[in-house]
């Protein structure tokens, strides 16, 4: 009998995914953008992703299946929307694997020890070199091999590494607060909010905050590989997400308070550390802490990369269920119960991504935006299924859904807008490329064209949403890369009102397809 993940192993796996490279770079980048107000950015990011997660907890406990987040939208709106949501989600997950490898390589390139001079060639002008690309490949290969031989090996590895990953950030917070903490930093150089209130919102995407919280879906995508998924999915996300929110917020507080006054000569925008926490530790003569931080800069991304190989391979395998991707990618190894072909494809594509986007910042922007596009389908799907399938078993039922779902949808739309022009339209274009696969496989089926036309209605609201956000990004305020025709904060009002209209259209356009029968079969496995 296949061994399943306990609640403890699930929490450790999710924490291992969440506490990755985000804490190594995020606090420094957020402070540079928003100053001390970056603390609010981390809280805001937690609220946005937390509200989205509540919608997915209801779906995840209703349909415990591996790679579930690539399937839910198809249950309520047919195969086309399901494919687009799965493609966007898979793209974001796929990018996380190389970004963690890039993070480790970037930190390695700044190791201060004389014996490590050979690592200097991994990075040039902020970008990974060809030599660094080889090391990135070795990292991704190691991530993959640890997933290649079953969930049992994965859970043992991540449970061990998560304890280390939690310990180092916690120790860093305590040491920096007790050593060299300067309360006046929170009011220095133009006060608490030197970049204005808009900078708080901009930092959530530009500093990788949304990216850092994204990993809650690790729990959702493990699905039926979890013991008692009807209750452990909820508690796994709540516990892991709560712990990570506290750690990230306190890390930002510690970073702001520990920056030496001499580094603030040109304000917070002039604070530009290559290895933020390690550089501060060196400035405070805490060499032992800097050594530990450089070690964790190797371990934390490694743990997250390993976790997301598991998640990403299952997301790709799940996309083959509608037969709009090569079905062999969905085959699971009988002995080890892992989708090995999907892992190999993700390995190759991960290296290709790094070859095109050779720094942490560029990759994190792609991840954040594509993830949020996939997340837009969650509130629409959970609301639609309440109407389509009121008798389905719901181990977790989100109260006051009629308020929480549109609120989560509106916040997700705003967070996409915060990614700034032209990032939004670039990611929309990459997601549109996935439609080539869908149309190719759909028209080859006996009823291909009629089914394609039928499924267009289920996806038109998301197309309208992307067109609306593209328009708003183009004409919106200068603070978010727009032409300034609609000033801040009126641009926020425009984004939300148009997005809520798309949300209403999405709920209206839900229809019964064959995918709902699949959903019914999955739901029958659930016990109250």
Residue with more model confidence, 148 or 207: 207
Place 431 in a pLDDT band, splitting at 50, 70 and 90: confident
- Is residue 151 pLDDT above 60, yes or no? no
The secondary structure of 204-253, three-state, reads HHHCCHHHHHHHHHHHHHHHHHECCHHHHHHHHHHHHHHHHHHHHHHHHH
Residue 5 lies in a domain: no
Kindly report the pTM of this predicted structure. Answer: 0.83
pLDDT of residue 447: 65
Residue 1 lies in a domain: no
Residue 217 lies in a domain: yes
Place 1 in a pLDDT band, splitting at 50, 70 and 90: very low
Q: Choose the weakest-confidence range: 60-74, 148-162, 420-434.
A: 148-162
Per-residue pLDDT reduced to its tens digit, 308-360? 676 677 777 766 666 666 666 666 656 555 677 788 888 888 888 777 777 76
- Is residue 498 pLDDT above 90, yes or no? yes
pLDDT of residue 420: 78
Residue 104 lies in a domain: yes
Rounded distance between C-alpha atoms, residue 207 and residue 22, angstroms: 9
Q: Which helix (H) or strand (E) holds 341?
A: helix 340-356
pLDDT of residue 211: 81
- Mean pLDDT, residues 225-234 taken together: 75
Number of structural domains found in the chain: 1
Q: Taking the alpha carbons of 20, 25, 200, 249 in that order, is the dihedral positive or negative?
A: positive
C-beta separation of 53 from 237 below 8 A:
yes
pLDDT of residue 366: 73
CATH code, domain carrying 498:
1.20.1740.10
Q: How far is CA 122 from the centre of its chain?
A: 26
Place 162 in a pLDDT band, splitting at 50, 70 and 90: low
C-beta separation of 314 from 221 below 8 A:
yes
Per-residue pLDDT reduced to its tens digit, 367-399? 778 788 889 999 999 999 999 999 998 888 888
Q: Could you tell me the residue range of the domain that residue 211 belongs to?
A: 10-525
Residue 4 lies in a domain: no
- Is residue 190 pLDDT above 70, yes or no? no
- Mean pLDDT, residues 33-57 taken together: 92
Residue 405 lies in a domain: yes
Residue 269 lies in a domain: yes
Residue 184 lies in a domain: yes
User: Token pair of 285, please?
Assistant: 């003569």
Beta-bridged to residue 123, according to DSSP, are 128
Beta-bridged to residue 128, according to DSSP, are 123
Per-residue pLDDT reduced to its tens digit, 78-88? 888 888 888 88
Rounded distance between C-alpha atoms, residue 60 and residue 431, angstroms: 24
Per-residue pLDDT reduced to its tens digit, 457-493? 888 899 899 899 999 999 999 988 888 899 999 999 9
User: How far is CA 369 from each of CA 25, 373, 420, 422, rounded to the nearest angstrom?
Assistant: 18, 6, 10, 11
**For the chain, percent of residues with pLDDT exceeding 70:** 86
pLDDT of residue 348: 85
């Amino acid at each position: 009998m296949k061994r399943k993940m306990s609640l403890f192993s699930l929490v450790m796996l999710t924490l291992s995914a969440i506490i990755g490279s985000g804490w190594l770079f995020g606090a420094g980048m957020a402070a540079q953008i928003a100053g001390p107000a970056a603390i609010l950015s981390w809280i805001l990011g937690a609220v946005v992703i937390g509200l989205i997660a509540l919608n997915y907890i209801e779906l995840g406990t209703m349909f415990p299946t591996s790679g579930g987040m690539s399937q839910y939208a198809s249950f309520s709106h047919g195969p086309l929307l399901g494919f687009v949501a799965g493609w966007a989600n898979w793209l974001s997950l796929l990018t996380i694997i190389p970004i963690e490898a890039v993070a480790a390589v970037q930190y390695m390139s700044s190791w201060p020890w004389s014996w490590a001079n050979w690592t200097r060639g991994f990075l040039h002008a902020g970008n990974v070199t060809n030599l660094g690309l080889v090391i990135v490949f070795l990292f991704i290969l190691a991530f993959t091999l640890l997933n290649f031989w079953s969930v049992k090996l994965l859970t043992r590895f991540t449970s061990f590494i998560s304890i280390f990953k939690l310990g180092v950030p916690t120790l860093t917070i305590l040491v920096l607060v007790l050593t060299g903490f300067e309360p006046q930093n929170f009011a220095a150089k133009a006060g608490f909010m030197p970049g204005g209130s808009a900078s708080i919102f901009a930092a959530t995407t530009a500093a990788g905050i949304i990216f850092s919280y994204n990993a809650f879906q690790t729990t959702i995508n493990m699905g039926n590989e979890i013991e008692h998924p009807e209750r452990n999915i909820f508690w796994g996300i709540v516990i892991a997400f709560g712990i990570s929110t506290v750690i990230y917020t306190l890390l930002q507080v510690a970073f702001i308070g520990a920056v030496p006054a001499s580094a603030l000569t040109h304000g917070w925008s002039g604070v530009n550390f290559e290895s933020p926490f390690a550089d501060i530790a060196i400035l405070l003569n805490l060499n032992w802490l800097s050594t530990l931080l450089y070690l964790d800069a190797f371990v934390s991304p490694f743990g997250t990369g390993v976790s997301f190989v598991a998640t990403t391979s299952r997301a790709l395998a799940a996309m083959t269920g509608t037969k709009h991707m090569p079905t062999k990618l969905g085959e699971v190894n009988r002995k080890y119960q892992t989708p090995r072909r999907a892992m190999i494809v993700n390995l190759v594509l991960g290296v290709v991504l790094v070859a095109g986007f050779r720094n942490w910042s560029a990759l994190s922007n792609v991840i954040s935006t594509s993830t949020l596009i996939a997340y837009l389908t969650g509130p629409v799907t959970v609301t639609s299924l309440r109407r389509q399938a009121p008798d389905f078993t719901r181990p977790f039922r989100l109260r006051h859904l009629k308020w929480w779902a549109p609120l989560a949808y509106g916040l997700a739309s705003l967070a996409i807008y915060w990614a700034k022009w032209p990032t939004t339209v670039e990611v929309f274009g990459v997601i549109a490329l996935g439609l080539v696969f869908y149309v190719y496989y759909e028209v080859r089926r006996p009823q291909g064209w009629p089914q394609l036309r039928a499924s267009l209605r289920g996806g038109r609201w998301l197309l309208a949403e992307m067109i609306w956000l593209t328009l708003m990004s183009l004409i919106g305020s200068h603070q978010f890369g727009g032409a300034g025709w609609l000033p801040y904060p009126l641009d926020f009002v425009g984004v939300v009102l148009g997005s809520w209209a798309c949300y209403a259209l999405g709920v209206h356009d839900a229809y019964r397809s064959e995918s709902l029968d699949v959903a019914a079969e999955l739901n029958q496995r659930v016990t109250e």
